[in-house]
Amino acid sequence: MTNTANTLTESSPAPAASSADTNASGRLHDPAVRGFASDNYSGVHPEILAALAAANDGHQVSYGEDVYTSRLQEVMAGHFGAEVDVFPVFNGTGANVLSLQSLLPRWGAVVCARTAHINMDENGAPERVGGMKLLAVAAPDGKLTPELIDQEAWGWGDEHRAQPLAVSITQTTELGTCYTPAEVAAIADHVHAKGMRLHMDGARLANAAAHLGQPLRAFTSDAGVDVLSFGGTKNGLMYGEAVVALNPEATAGLKYLRKMNMQLASKMRFISAQFIALLEGDLWLRSASHANAMAARLRAGVEGIDGVSCTQPTQSNGVFAILPEGSADRLRESFRFYDWDEAAREVRWMCSFDTTEADIDAFLSAIRSELA
């Protein structure tokens, strides 16, 4: 998202609540207020809350030696293959930095799309914490190709250049587009032939699977991805992501890097229990499919409104559109959402597992009224 003085960010503070705003239940917010800014804005899925409550009784060994983390290894193996190794962490930035660090020597660099979250939205964490250089290339639809990767995949042996030894792709991309299994496999084959490794930022991995109608492994482990940042927060978890070593031989030192990077949870059972609830059944797919369907409903609705033009295919749970001058700010008085490219008047609308048809219809009505 464009960083300007007038652009909202996911960390923009909400108005402070006074003590008078607290109702009898202790709630400080109005649950009727809905928005389309981020799938991080939604609450926790009730089935995840129930799993947290069930995991809360009694004592369990800390730092991952609990029965929930052990069970999570089995659940992940069912999705990605028997050889995988799973490392629950606190957040997506930590997952991405950890994953990439595990693939690289100290002098390594990462080729990524210019719009990649690691390049645009992680405040220098890969460079400052991970100690790696990012080599970003323009990708109009957010997707890298072997040809785009080759713009920066060169200079091996040149001591004056950070060595490009890994590639990071995002599924779904920051523009809401999806890589097919064949596209991921082509990238994996290309970079592996050059002695490089492949990382996937899967903050919205479930949304990609829902769009493609494919199992998670089809475009990850089966396609040649070496390490995966598997997102949970955007698909109904309270907190927590997971680093999944799909090729453990390529991801040296994750056990130690997680602690060094302050991503080792003492009460890890509560991250693991959430992922078990998400992945042991079909909750991950139900939630992602619903979010995608709500985005498709929104896209279909705005396509019939004069003055709105969509800029990217809607292949997951996001809609990107251009609005007339000034209309976005007026709409934001009722429905919060972000500018993506303020200069182009391009905005991003995100749906989540708890977005309803009524939410979509109310927002469409507001857009029609604004542009009438």
pLDDT in tens, 274-328: 999 999 999 999 999 999 999 999 999 999 899 999 999 999 999 999 999 999 9
Non-local (6+) Cβ contacts of 362 within 8 A are 34
Query: Which pLDDT does position 17 carry in this prediction?
Result: 47
Within 13 Å of residue 15, how many CA atoms lie on the same side as its CB? 7
Among the listed residues 142, 83, 145, the one whose alpha carbon sits nearest the alpha carbon of residue 116: 142
Q: What is the mean pLDDT of residues 173-185?
A: 97
pTM: 0.92
Contact (CB, 8 A) for 182 and 319: no
Q: What is the mean pLDDT of residues 178-203?
A: 98
Among the listed residues 331, 330, 348, the one whose alpha carbon sits nearest the alpha carbon of residue 339: 348
- Residue 5 banded pLDDT, cuts 50, 70, 90: very low
Q: What's the distance, Cα to Cα, between the start and end of the chain in Å? A: 28
Separation between Cα atoms, residue 245 and residue 199, nearest integer Å: 10
Within 13 Å of residue 119, how many CA atoms lie on the same side as its CB? 23
Mean pLDDT estimate for the chain: 93
The pair phi, psi for residue 272, each rounded to 5°, is -65, -40
Separation between Cα atoms, residue 52 and residue 68, nearest integer Å: 11
pLDDT at position 96 over 50? yes
Query: Which pLDDT does position 26 carry in this prediction?
Result: 82
- Residue 22 banded pLDDT, cuts 50, 70, 90: low
Query: Which pLDDT does position 2 carry in this prediction?
Result: 46
Q: What is the mean pLDDT of residues 81-105?
A: 97
Domains and CATH numbers, the chain: 19-45+283-371 (3.90.1150.10), 46-279 (3.40.640.10)
Contact (CB, 8 A) for 347 and 176: no
pLDDT at position 4 over 50? no
Query: Which pLDDT does position 21 carry in this prediction?
Result: 56
Who has greater pLDDT, 19 or 260? 260
Separation between Cα atoms, residue 235 and residue 290, nearest integer Å: 10
Question: Which of 23-37, 45-59, 96-110, 307-321 is predicted with the least confidence, judged by mean pLDDT?
Answer: 23-37
pLDDT digits (tens, 9 = 90+) for 196-236: 999 999 999 999 999 999 999 999 999 999 999 999 999 99
pLDDT digits (tens, 9 = 90+) for 235-261: 999 999 999 999 999 988 999 999 999
Please identify which residue in the block is written with the tokens 């709500």.
294
Question: Which of 11-15, 145-149, 324-328, 346-350 is predicted with the least confidence, judged by mean pLDDT?
Answer: 11-15
Separation between Cα atoms, residue 294 and residue 58, nearest integer Å: 40
In the structure encoding, which two tokens stand for residue 64, read together? Answer: 């991952």
Separation between Cα atoms, residue 301 and residue 295, nearest integer Å: 10
For 43, other C-beta atoms within 10 Å of its C-beta total 13
In the structure encoding, which two tokens stand for residue 140, read together? Answer: 């109009």
Query: Which pLDDT does position 372 carry in this prediction?
Result: 86
Within 13 Å of residue 154, how many CA atoms lie on the same side as its CB? 7
Separation between Cα atoms, residue 154 and residue 61, nearest integer Å: 47
